Structures are given as C-alpha cells and as structure tokens.
Amino acid sequence: MVASARLQMLGLPLDCATMAQSVERIGGYLQTPDFHLVVTLGTEMVVRAQTDASFREAVRSAALVIPDGIGTVWAARLRGFDMRERVAGVELVQVLAQRLGGRLRVFLLGGAPGVAESAAQNLLRIAPGVHVAGSRDGYFQDDREVVEQIAASKANVLLAGLGFPRQELWLQKHGPACGVAVGIGVGGTFDVLSGRVRRAPRWMQKVGLEWLYRFALQPSRWQRMLALPKFAMRILTGGQDSVQAWPEGQATS
Ligand code: UDP
C-alpha cells in the first residue's frame, strides 16, 4: 500500500493522497475484514468540525481523509506541504469503479428517492464490471432497517451521500454493522452521477472555482459559503500551527 503523509489541519487529519494513492489505499482496505471510514474533506467540513465535537471525532476516526475542497489544498500548500491535487469525491467514486471494477460490490445510500438508483445505472455505464449490491434514498428514519438491508446485500463498499455531518456520523456508528470494508461519505455525488446536478466546467474545476459555480447554481447555499472566508481567516491567523505534520504515534481517534 502506498504511504502518503498525514497532516493535521485545524485539528483534523488530512492525507496528502493523490487520486491514484486514494484508490490504491481503498483497494487495500478491501482485503481486510475491518471497517474503514473514508472522509472526503471539504472546506466547509473543517469549519463545522471546529464547533462540533462529535463530527470532529468522526473525522479523526477515519482511516483515510481525502482533500476534496480547494481550500484544504490551498492551505496545505501555503504551509509548504506537498499536496499534489484535489481529489473530488464525485470523481473518486467513478475512478474507483473503473479501476477496481469487479472487486467492488457497492451500496449507494442517499439522495432523494430515485436518485441513488439512477446514479447506480450511470455508474454501471461508466464501469460495467462493478457489482451494484443495492441502493436506497437518504430520507429514512429507521437506521436498523437500513443497516440490515446493507448487511444482507453483502456490499463491501458503502457510499453514503447523506450530506455532512450526518454521513460521517452515520458511517462511524453503523459502518461496522453493515459488514462493509469501506464506507465513504460522498455528499451530493449521486445528484451529479444521476445527471440532476451539473458539475462546473472543467476550466473552473482546474482553477479551483467549482465552489463559485455551485453557489451560482444554488444561491440558497450562500450561508454555507460563509465557511470559506472563515476557513481562510483561521488558516492565515493560525500561522504554522494551523497546518502541521500529524504528530507521530498519535492515533487519529
Ligand atoms: N441528503 C440525504 N438525506 C438527508 C439530507 C440530505 O440523502 O437527510 C442528501 C441530499 O439529497 C443530497 C446530499 O445528501 O443528495 C447532500 O448534498 P450536498 O450537495 O449538500 O453535499 P456536499 O457535496 O456539498 O457535501
């Protein structure tokens, strides 16, 4: 398995993992019997974790924390760390499916009714070798019933698109009972995969402006956008302490 440096960013772990390294590490997790939480860390999530202790602990319990969020990439680079690229959750799901193919038995959990199903169909178009073990919308009350459904599906990867912090808290609490080796919080990925929400044009993604595109499409997200200047302020005023190497020997949970 490829090792990648782990940083501590405003108290949270963040792995300097490229797309290729992330896929390789997740592939490695599939060979073990244990549950591994994978967090796709966006800038808004870092801000939320500053005041939400249970969410912070969930992120700190993750086996892999991927830099999804241009702010996290910017902050790591500003403090001199070798953060090669942003790894967007929506892309990770597609690349995982293409590269790991038949090794994946995925369960898609989340989104409005029907969204996970059409996302699954489109995922199969991109990666026909993948086995879709099941799917279900994210507006449920009875956790136990959902856990039983996932366990019965024999999925090895659970994609949870329930929005943060719910998806990380849910995976941390129920992931092991679902019998999956990997649980990934994927936010609005199913909305994009199903074709309901468009991603920003490639050039905007490249220059780190995808957040602006999402804001333009859904102005109701403006309150969430306030997290971005808050994050930048904390990084800039926190000096070197705001981003540092993960303390050696310190467990993440
Ligand atoms: N969602 C859900 N159950 C809930 C709340 C939200 O399944 O109780 C879904 C929602 O339908 C959407 C996703 O969670 O598909 C969150 O998308 P958003 O774009 O807010 O996530 P982001 O990618 O910004 O984290």
Instruction: Kindly report, residue by residue over 160-217, the tens digit of the pLDDT.
Output: 999 999 999 999 999 999 999 999 999 999 999 999 998 889 899 888 888 888 888 8
Q: Identify the pLDDT of residue 2.
A: 45
Give bridge partners of residue 244 from the DSSP assignment.
8
Amino acid at 143: D
Residue carrying structure tokens 């038995």: 105
Count of the separate structural domains present in the chain:
1
Query: Rounded to whole angstroms, what are the CA distances from 98 to 31, 180, 211, 239?
Result: 18, 19, 26, 40
Q: What is the mean pLDDT of residues 227-243?
A: 92
Does some domain include residue 46? yes
What CATH number did the domain enclosing 140 receive?
3.40.50
Does some domain include residue 128? yes
Q: What is the mean pLDDT of residues 15-39?
A: 97
Rounded distance from Cα 166 to ligand 1 centre (Å): 9
Does some domain include residue 246? no
Rounded distance from Cα 238 to ligand 1 centre (Å): 31
Does some domain include residue 165? yes
Cβ distance 13 to 61 under 8 Å? no
Rounded distance from Cα 116 to ligand 1 centre (Å): 11
Element (H, E) at 13: strand 12-15
Does some domain include residue 244? no
Pocket of ligand 1 from Cβ distances under 6 Å: 110-112, 138-139, 161-164, 187-188, 190-191
Question: Which of 25, 22, 32, 80 has its CA nearest to residue 176?
Answer: 32
Query: Left if phi > 0, otherwise alpha if psi is -120 to 50, otherwise beta: which for 201?
Result: beta
Q: What is the mean pLDDT of residues 106-126?
A: 98
Does some domain include residue 17? no
Distance CA 193, CA 115 (A): 9
Q: What is the mean pLDDT of residues 70-91?
A: 95
Does some domain include residue 15? no
Instruction: Pick the atom of ligand 1 nearest to 137's CA.
Output: 7
Domain ranges, residue 49: 33-235
Q: Computed over its alpha carbons, how large is the radius of gyration of the chain?
A: 17
Q: Identify the pLDDT of residue 1.
A: 43
Q: What is the mean pLDDT of residues 134-151?
A: 98
Rounded distance from Cα 177 to ligand 1 centre (Å): 23
Q: H helices within the chain, ranges in order?
A: 19-29, 43-51, 53-60, 70-78, 89-100, 115-126, 143-153, 166-178, 189-193, 202-206, 210-217, 222-225, 227-238
Q: Which residue is closest in CA terms to ligand 1's atom 18?
A: 188
Rounded distance from Cα 161 to ligand 1 centre (Å): 6
Q: What is the pTM of this model?
A: 0.95
Q: Which residue is closest in CA terms to ligand 1's atom 5?
A: 162
Does some domain include residue 10? no
Amino acid at 21: Q
Q: Identify the pLDDT of residue 249.
A: 67
